[in-house]
Structure 1
Amino acid sequence: MSDAEWQVIKPLMPWPAWLYGNGGRPEKYCRRRIMDAIRYVVDFSELPRISGSVRTCVV
Structure 2
Amino acid sequence: MKIFYHSVIPSTSVTRRVYFYFIDKILNSAWRIIFVILAVTKKHIKKFIACIVNKKSAENPQID
* TM-score, scaled relative to structure 2: 0.36
Larger relative contact order, structure 1 or 2 (CA cutoff 8 Å, min sep 6): 2
* TM-score, scaled relative to structure 1: 0.38
